[in-house]
Amino acid sequence: MYIIIVGGGNVGYYLAKTLVAARHEVLVLEKDRLRYRTISEELGEVVMQGDGCQADQQLEAGFGRADAVVATTGSDDDNLVVCQMAKMEFNVPRTISRVNDPRNEKLFHRLGIDATVSSTKIIYNLIEQEVGGGEVIPLAALSRGNIEIVEIEISKRSPVLGREIRTLEMPGEALIISIIRNDHAILPSGDTSFAMGDSVIALVNADQEPELREVFAESA
Amino acid sequence: MNIIILGCGRVGSTFARLMYRDGHSVTIIDLQSEAFRRLGVKYKGARIVGNGIDEDVLKRAGIEHADVFIAVTQGDNRNIMASQIAKNVFDVPKVIARIYDPIRADRYRQLGLTTLCTTTIASGLLRDFVSTDQWGIAKDYSQEYLALNV
């Protein structure tokens, strides 16, 4: 695959090294001349100096044949425009953006970016996983972020412990797709009941996540 | 009208003063409070220090009730992103982004944004004046620019 990384900061630099090691064809576009010199000493010819938002430089960098464009700069506005221009000008099949402000993930999906990554949100979710009982933890987003796959841990304080799925007042657009019990995935039916230590995997419309949260919420 | 202006540079501050003088309710946003010095003493509209691509800042500026949103910061991408938030998230009826790069100005216009490319306007006017000794009318030259492909 040919992957173009826009932004040669730490994220872009290590991503390039990892992709090169995995034998992908990689190009890093870095705007700043000093930073460009520093990383090209290490990465060699796969680094190009240029502005990834500018159509002529996108052309020169080969956006037209890229399988994916990844925007990794520290500015969300730059990342957004890199990905939108890549789509508009070169119809790049997959655009991936780093998102610094996690609230921008939803916006970016709405504005046509294929995938977003927010390290803030990932770290937050890890913390939630450590401390939270009955927390609804997002695992992945489908359909441009409208549908989420979430995981819910069932602890001994869970209000649904021992109850059958059919007795839950689930939100209209939510579906329990699996229960992980003792490392085995169960495909549940209406009369499956919840046990301590279960991981419940559900699909939910992002708008109805708060209601799903209500169903599994543990009282403090 | 409720008007929000993002970026208190020369254009932003001048436009804010004009619209305030005409009796509109004006709010201007800039990252740095020193920029508000450009507004002079007659401007009594609102000033907000903050990042214009942050929805909380835009809400503080009253974007939910804005009739007009103008993005004139120094950064094309910042203007593009803020304008898309104003248009797509807050449904502001009239949104205009100043974009220096003629290509980006054209592409985002095709995407439905109203864009103002001062680069092609100024260079078009200059070309007219240099070749005919007369100032042309201030129209948008970006289509012509793109057709010439210079």
pLDDT of B73 strictly over 70: yes
- Asked if the C-beta of B84 comes within 8 angstroms of chain A's C-beta atoms, the answer is yes
The pTM of the full predicted model, rounded to 2 decimals, is 0.76
pLDDT tens-digit series, residues A144-167: 668 888 888 888 888 898 999 999
pLDDT exceeds cutoff 60 at A220: no
- Confidence bin at A195 (pLDDT 50/70/90): very high
| Residue A64 pLDDT greater than 70, yes or no | yes
A66, HSE (Cβ side, Cα atoms, 13 Å):
27
User: Which strand (E) or helix (H) includes residue A26?
Assistant: strand A25-30
What is the reported pLDDT for B139?
65
pLDDT digits (tens, 9 = 90+) for B32-58: 999 999 999 999 999 999 999 999 999
- Strands, DSSP E only, in chain B? 2-6, 25-30, 46-49, 68-71, 94-98, 114-116
**If you average pLDDT over residues B128-138, what whole number do you get?**
84
> Does the pLDDT at position A3 exceed 80?
yes
A105 touches chain B (CB under 8 A): no
Contact residues for B59 (Cβ-Cβ < 8 A; gap 6+):
none
Q: Which of A56, A81, A107 sits opposite B77 (nearest CB)?
A: A81
Checking if the pLDDT of B148 tops 70, the result is: no
pLDDT of residue A210: 82
Q: Which residues contact B115 (CB under 8 A, 6 or more apart)?
A: B96, B97, B98, B99, B105, B106, B108, B109
Cα of A33 to nearest chain B Cα, Å: 19
CA distance A136 to A143: 19
Q: What is the DSSP letter of B115?
A: E
A100 lies within 8 A of chain B by CB: no
Q: Which residue of B has its CA nearest to A80?
A: B81
Angle, in degrees to the nearest 10, between helices A33-43 and A10-21 = 20
Contact list, A105 vs chain B (CB under 8 Å): none
**Banded model confidence at residue A138, pLDDT cuts 50, 70, 90:** confident
Q: Name beta bridge partners: A180.
A: A185, A199
Q: What is the pLDDT of residues A65-124, one digit of tens each?
A: 999 999 999 999 999 999 999 999 999 999 999 999 999 999 999 999 999 999 888 888
Please check whether residue A81 is in contact with residue A58, taking contact to mean a CB–CB distance below 8 angstroms.
no
Task: Dump pLDDT digits (tens) for A9-52.
Answer: 999 999 999 999 999 999 999 999 999 999 999 999 999 999 99
The packing angle between helices B102-110 and B76-84, to 10°, is 10
| Residue A164 vs residues A168, A192, A209, B10: alpha-carbon distances, Å | 7, 5, 20, 66
Within an 8 Å CB–CB cutoff, is residue B89 touching chain A?
A: yes
Helix, strand, coil share of chain B (percent; to 5): 50, 20, 35
Give Rg (Cα) of chain B. Answer: 16
pLDDT surpasses 90 at B111: yes
Half-sphere exposure of A119 (CA within 13 A, CB side): 7
Per-residue pLDDT, A129: 62
Is B55 in contact with A111 (Cβ distance < 8 A)? Answer: no
Say how far apart CA B110 and CA B127 lie, in whole Å.
26
The gap from C-alpha A91 to its chain's centroid, in whole angstroms, comes to 21
- In angstroms, the CA B81 to CA B93 distance is 16
What ipTM does this complex have?
0.88
Residue A78 CA: distances (Å) to CA of A6, A138, B72, B123: 10, 26, 16, 26
Chain B residues touching residue A54 (CB < 8 angstroms) = 101, 103-104
Quickly state the pLDDT bin for A130 (edges 50, 70, 90): low
Q: Greater confidence, A194 or A142?
A: A194
Of chain A, the end-to-end C-alpha distance in Å amounts to: 50
Q: Identify which of A56, A78, A107 has the shortest CB distance to residue B77.
A: A78
Query: Residue A41's closest CA among A23, A53, A28?
Result: A28
